[in-house]
Amino acid sequence: MPETPSPARYDWVILQQGELPLRPEGWVNPAVEHRCTSTLIWPEGERPTRDNTLLADPYFTDRGFRGAAPILKRLGLAFDEIGRMFVTHPHFDHCLQLPAGVQGAGPLPLEPGAAGALAGVRRVPCPGHEPSLHALVFRATAGDEVWIVGDAILDEPWLRAWGYYWPNRYARAAVVETWRSVATILSRADVVVPGHGPPIPITPALVRDLLAGFPAAQHSDRCFEVGATIERRLDALRDDESAGRSS
């Protein structure tokens, strides 16, 4: 029988580290800039080029782009050579913005069902924060499943607090939908790239803490299945951990 081809894998790097001045407790850190996390991916073992690169959430502040420039230089890639972009959701702070003087009009949007170098990348609906929000999901070189989730998860402190971006004045249905999307992400991701923070490894300790905190989340009584989903993921992670110790 012919061999089943291995799933495509991708290298990735954070080009712009996201930040969010508003904290889940309600206070604002004026020293922190409001900017999204921007991620560049390309196929494992290939040099990044116009034909194989994808940039997720390409809203760059001047300060953020200054941090991205040396990373691009190290990769041997100019910004106007990035081929495709993906916007997790159409809020202004995730859509394409480049500092004045940056060359090029920006990458082309990623088309649904992309073929070729990006065929192993898929979209998963994660509504709540915004109805059309989609995560970008791919298998990394190390084998981890990486989920770039935009503001379905703002950053790790917001996740641990079961916090959503309350200035947007969400109705109960949107909050419940957010928790369901968080459960979807936690049930499958090995690493989460949130909308405004560094990547979050999904560990047994983190999932245990999230499970313990979920009953205090607003409207958690309207989505009991979220806790059950998280508990199943915790059981799976524990099994993996036990298997690793015994091997």
In sequence order, which residues have a C-beta less than 8 Å from that of residue 220 and are 6 or more positions away?
A: 162, 179, 214, 226, 227
Residues 6+ apart with CB under 8 A from 17: 37, 64, 67, 197, 198
* Per-residue confidence band for 60, with pLDDT thresholds at 50, 70 and 90: very high
Residues with Cβ < 8 Å from 47, sequence gap 6 or more?
Answer: 76
pLDDT per residue as tens digits for the range 130-186: 999 999 999 999 999 999 999 999 999 999 999 999 999 999 999 999 999 999 999
CATH class, 10-246 region: alpha beta
pTM above 0.85, yes or no: yes
Task: State how far Cα 20 lies from the chain centre.
Answer: 15
Burial class of residue 31 (count of CB atoms within 10 Å of its CB; 0-12, 13-18, 19+): exposed
Domain borders along the chain are 10-246
Residues 97-136 have pLDDT tens digits of 998 888 766 799 998 778 899 999 999 999 999 999 999 9
Residues 110 and 129: beta-carbon distance below 8 Å: no
What residues form DSSP beta bridges with 42? 11
How many angstroms separate the CA atoms of 222 and 115, rounded?
40
